[in-house]
């Protein structure tokens, strides 16, 4: 879709939450990666996630500028833009109601203007948004925001924090993630811990990112340090951790003295604040290359991912082969495919569900009740496979007929399959109808 070998165009990774946004960018070939700073020539990457509206006029400011204007007490500052957009309820500002989707769209537009100035007006060709948790509602909000941006013919996609971490980690030198990687994000006294690890037995290797949250005491620095030291022990003991990252404004200062000593024991530790947005950049670059999950050495398997390969055994040009419908490792909400098949005989076909760990492979027979009787190889069906959720596969099957002599009935057959359901596998009976593509 794009000329990735050139340096034309900018790829953007946009991280947003209720507290802040961060915007990283790079050339289409992955070169010159940087992050927008709120202060020129300084590494202040967190853009306050807020808007300010001046009293009695329709004038809005975003980010650091909004915080600055709020100190003049000439209007109202609005925070929690992300959670308000997810909730969907009108937001009251100075006695007037506003659509929360319009507010977060305004914020993204204003902050993207800052990016445009940073990259000297170069064309944005792709944006990857990353949020703390990717849900159906989050996707709807981000799609609305992306559709309102004044860019033409750009690639837009979405991912959660865990997948941003995955893409960031695997784009570092291999020695840093030879074994487990720990990421600690501290905001005030709230701590999110992420653990990156791999199952090297599978092929391709499957990577995971686990998340767990806890609180640090609000008392003296010594107590806070002692509490974090205990967390470091709990999250690293019994594991080989080759690398760690401390991110978030909560790690500013010198309170984590003993805990940092322990964390640095036999491993490399980095501090920074733009891991998520850079990870989103790497993810978009990976998406633009068009590599399928099965072509990669490592595949991420998170909540947003399809955890099984879904396909069919068919006959092509007289030879039996496998027809892939949906690929494990892809975003479930992006997983969709339509194929035309010819039924040899009978009124059924079989779908194979293969978990990425290779265990508990299932064959599910799809019976088209009511399909008219037909001669062998005279019925063509269109099979549309799509995911309704992480675990629910929907198959829409339409009778398309076979030329003028065997017109289709346009009958629609629908079946929902739970990918986690422990169904008995269909027997390999030689009389079972085969599907021919």
Q: Are residues 177 and 261 in the same domain?
A: yes
The answer to whether residue 337 sits within a structural domain is: yes
Among 277, 295, 326, where does a domain finish?
277
Among 138, 159, 180, where does a domain finish?
159
The predicted-structure confidence for 404-430, as pLDDT tens digits, reads as follows 556 666 678 899 999 876 544 333 333
Question: 93 near 84, Cβ under 8 Å?
Answer: no
Number of domains in the chain: 3
User: Which helix (H) or strand (E) covers residue 20, if one does?
Assistant: strand 20-27
The predicted-structure confidence for 3-30, as pLDDT tens digits, reads as follows 555 557 899 999 999 999 999 999 887 7
- Report whether pLDDT(403) > 80: no
> Comparing 310 with 428, which gets the higher pLDDT?
310
Question: 203 near 299, Cβ under 8 Å?
Answer: no
Q: Are residues 173 and 150 in the same domain?
A: no
- Copy the structure tokens of residue 48: 């306050």
**Distance of alpha carbon 43 from alpha carbon 52, whole angstroms:** 24
Sign of the dihedral through C-alpha 163, 164, 168, 169: negative
Question: 325 near 356, Cβ under 8 Å?
Answer: no
The predicted-structure confidence for 320-338, as pLDDT tens digits, reads as follows 889 999 988 888 888 899 9
CATH number of residue 119's parent domain = 3.30.420.40
Domain span holding position 58: 10-159
The answer to whether residue 295 sits within a structural domain is: no
The answer to whether residue 254 sits within a structural domain is: yes
**Distance of alpha carbon 54 from alpha carbon 47, whole angstroms:** 20
Among 112, 133, 159, where does a domain finish?
159
Strands (E), 164-305: 180-187, 190-199, 205-215, 241-247, 268-272, 298-300
**Distance of alpha carbon 170 from alpha carbon 179, whole angstroms:** 11
The answer to whether residue 232 sits within a structural domain is: yes
Three-state DSSP string of 101-167:
HHHHHHHHHHHHHHHHHHCCCCCEEEEEEEECCCCHHHHHHHHHHHHHCCCCCCEEEEEEHHHHHHH
Q: What region, left, alpha or beta, does residue 163 occupy, with left being phi > 0 and alpha being psi -120 to 50 degrees?
A: alpha
- pTM to 2 decimals? 0.82
- Report whether pLDDT(432) > 50: no
The answer to whether residue 191 sits within a structural domain is: yes
CATH number of residue 314's parent domain = 2.60.34
Mean pLDDT of 355-369: 84
> Comparing 294 with 64, which gets the higher pLDDT?
64
Q: Are residues 140 and 248 in the same domain?
A: no
Q: Which residues does 261 contact at the CB level (< 8 Å), separation at least 6?
A: none
The answer to whether residue 133 sits within a structural domain is: yes
- Copy the structure tokens of residue 382: 């269109």
The predicted-structure confidence for 164-192, as pLDDT tens digits, reads as follows 999 999 999 999 999 999 999 998 889 99
Q: Are residues 130 and 209 in the same domain?
A: no
CATH number of residue 208's parent domain = 3.30.420.10
Q: Are residues 260 and 330 in the same domain?
A: no
Q: Are residues 208 and 172 in the same domain?
A: yes
Question: Where is mean pLDDT largest: 132-136, 167-171, 306-310?
Answer: 167-171
∠ CA 184-190-195 to the nearest 5 degrees?
25
Q: Are residues 184 and 150 in the same domain?
A: no
Q: Are residues 254 and 354 in the same domain?
A: no
Neighbours of 132 (CB within 10 A): 18
The answer to whether residue 1 sits within a structural domain is: no
Placement of tokens 């492979």 in the chain: 361
Q: Are residues 101 and 34 in the same domain?
A: yes
The answer to whether residue 297 sits within a structural domain is: no
Q: Are residues 343 and 321 in the same domain?
A: yes
- Copy the structure tokens of residue 84: 């308000």
Bridging pattern class, strands 96-98 and 60-62: unpaired
Q: Are residues 315 and 401 in the same domain?
A: yes
**Distance of alpha carbon 171 from alpha carbon 265, whole angstroms:** 23
In the Cβ-directed half-sphere of 416, how many Cα atoms lie within 13 Å? Answer: 6
Q: Are residues 80 and 53 in the same domain?
A: yes
């Amino acid at each position: 879709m794009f000329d990735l070998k050139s340096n034309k165009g900018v790829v953007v990774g946009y991280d947003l939450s209720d507290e802040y946004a961060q915007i990283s960018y790079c050339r289409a070939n992955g070169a010159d990666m940087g992050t927008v700073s709120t202060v020129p020539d300084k590494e202040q990457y967190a853009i306050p996630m807020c808007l300010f509206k001046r009293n009695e006029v329709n004038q809005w400011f975003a980010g650091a500028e909004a915080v600055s204007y709020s100190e003049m007490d000439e209007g109202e500052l609005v925070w929690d833009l992300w959670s308000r957009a997810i909730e969907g309820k009108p937001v009251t500002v100075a006695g007037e109601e506003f659509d929360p989707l319009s507010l977060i769209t305004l914020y993204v537009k204003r902050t993207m203007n800052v990016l445009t100035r940073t990259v000297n007006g170069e064309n944005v060709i792709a944006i990857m948004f990353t949020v703390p948790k990717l849900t159906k509602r989050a996707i709807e909000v981000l799609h609305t925001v992306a559709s309102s941006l004044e860019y033409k013919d750009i690639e837009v996609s979405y991912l959660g924090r865990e997948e941003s971490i995955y893409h960031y980690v695997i784009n570092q030198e291999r020695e840093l993630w030879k074994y487990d990687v720990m990421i600690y994000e501290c905001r005030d006294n709230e701590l999110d811990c992420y653990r990156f690890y791999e199952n090297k037995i599978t092929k391709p290797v499957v990577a995971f990112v686990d998340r767990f949250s806890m609180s640090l005491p609000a008392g003296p620095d010594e107590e806070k340090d002692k509490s974090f030291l205990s967390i470091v022990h709990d999250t690293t003991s019994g594991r080989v951790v080759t690398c760690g990252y401390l991110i978030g404004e909560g790690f500013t200062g010198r309170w984590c003295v003993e805990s940092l000593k322990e964390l640095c024991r036999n491993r490399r530790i980095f501090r920074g604040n733009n891991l998520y947005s850079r990870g989103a950049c790497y993810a978009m670059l990976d998406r633009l290359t068009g590599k399928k999950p099965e072509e990669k050495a490592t595949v991420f398997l998170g909540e947003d991912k399809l955890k099984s390969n879904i396909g069919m055994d068919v006959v092509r040009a007289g030879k039996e082969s496998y027809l892939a419908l949906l690929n494990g490792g892809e975003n479930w909400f992006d997983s969709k495919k339509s194929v035309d098949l010819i039924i040899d005989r009978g009124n059924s076909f079989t779908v194979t569900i293969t978990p990425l760990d290779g265990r508990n492979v299932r064959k599910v027979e799809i019976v088209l009740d009511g399909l008219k009787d037909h001669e062998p190889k005279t019925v063509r069906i269109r099979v549309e496979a799509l995911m309704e959720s992480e675990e629910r596969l929907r198959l829409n099957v339409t009778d398309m007929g076979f030329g003028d002599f065997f017109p289709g009935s346009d009958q629609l057959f629908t079946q929902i399959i739970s990918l986690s359901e422990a169904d008995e596998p269909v027997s390999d009976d030689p009389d079972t109808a085969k599907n021919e593509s």
